[in-house]
Amino acid sequence: MMPSSSISSDHSTKPAEPDNGSPEGHSQPPPPPMIGHPQYSHQQYYQQPYPPAAGYPPGHHPYPPYPPPNYGVYPNYCSAPPMAPHPHGAYYPSPAHPPPHGRPIRSPGMLLLGFIRGVLTAIMILFLISVLFSILTYIILRPQHLRFQLASFSVTDFNISGGAVKASWEARLIVENPNEKLEAYFDKVQSVLYYKELSNYLAYNMEGAVSLGTMANGTMVLRNSMASSQQRQGPVVEEMEKERKAGAVTFGLAIRMMGIMKTGTSTTMLSEHLQVSCEDIKVVFGAGAASVNGTLIAGNEPRKCSIYM
């Protein structure tokens, strides 16, 4: 048998050609391996913590790892991804909303309510001031009302005919001012003559002014005539005629006064409104039906009149 021989072909491997500058027959050694960061996948890279420094204990990663990428799924752009909770969120409360800037606009109702409230407050302040002033005035000055006494009363030419009363009358009163620091001045004085009740008035008249100094006395004379236009006719006149025939008729006198009480220097003035009432003035006529004059039944002392505010 013939020995086997190797058949050469074009696909046989050829020896490597030597590099320029290298001795023929020697090949170049392989390059050394590259030294660098370890190769990690995307998920392992973010989950791997940094190595601790020398001399310190291993630390804790403060933030949670990123979620693994989800390839092949389109992200939802309609809503933002949820945020991870803060590790110390319990120590940081949510901040309060800042106050609105600018002056708030008030409605007309609120403005009206504020105006009414201001007016009521001003009225209350004025009322308290007036009350305080009155209290101080009373403590310092101690004002007292005037005193009135009926000294005499007379009726002349008393006549009843045709359902009407005609007569003239005159009243004399003693007025006393008991105040030590206040003077009295009354410029409006009105007198009313009535029969038994004030509603049955017979005559009224405006009198002159009255003025009295401190601790002073004075006399006030009131005169008037009963005119037919000022009469109460009917049953009142008939009853008066019966009393006249019996010998005595009862009258009443009312006095309304308006004025002031002031100190001598006029630094303090107090308004005064008085109503004086002299009741049960019994006038006695002479004997016989023809007597037309009558006078008050005389007593030992003048009759005191009542004073109303």
pLDDT per residue as tens, the chain (309 positions): 444 444 444 444 444 444 444 444 455 666 655 555 555 554 454 445 556 556 655 555 555 666 666 555 555 555 556 666 656 555 555 666 666 655 666 677 888 888 999 999 999 999 999 899 888 878 888 888 899 999 999 999 888 877 778 889 999 999 999 998 889 999 889 999 998 888 888 888 888 888 999 999 999 999 887 765 455 557 888 888 888 888 888 999 999 999 888 887 766 777 888 999 999 999 998 766 667 888 887 666 788 899 887
pLDDT for 238: 85
Domain edges within the chain: 113-142, 147-308
DSSP 8-state assignment for residue 228:
G
Q: If you compute the radius of gyration of the chain from its CA atoms, what whole number of angstroms results?
A: 62
| Contact of 182 with 216, CB cutoff 8 Å | no
In sequence order, the β-bridge partners of residue 170 are 154, 223
pTM: 0.55
Specify the pLDDT at position 125.
Answer: 96
Closest CA to 242 of 191, 205, 195, 206: 195
- The structure tokens listed for 160 are 């009843």
Here the tokens at position 81 are 């991804």
Count, residues in the chain: 309
pLDDT at 13: 45
Which pLDDT score is estimated for 22? 46
Label residues 169-200 b or e (16+ Cβ within 10 Å = b). Answer: bebbbbbebebeebbbebeebebbbbbbeeeb
Q: How far apart are CA 252 and CA 193, in angstroms?
A: 6
| Run of H or E residues at 66 | none
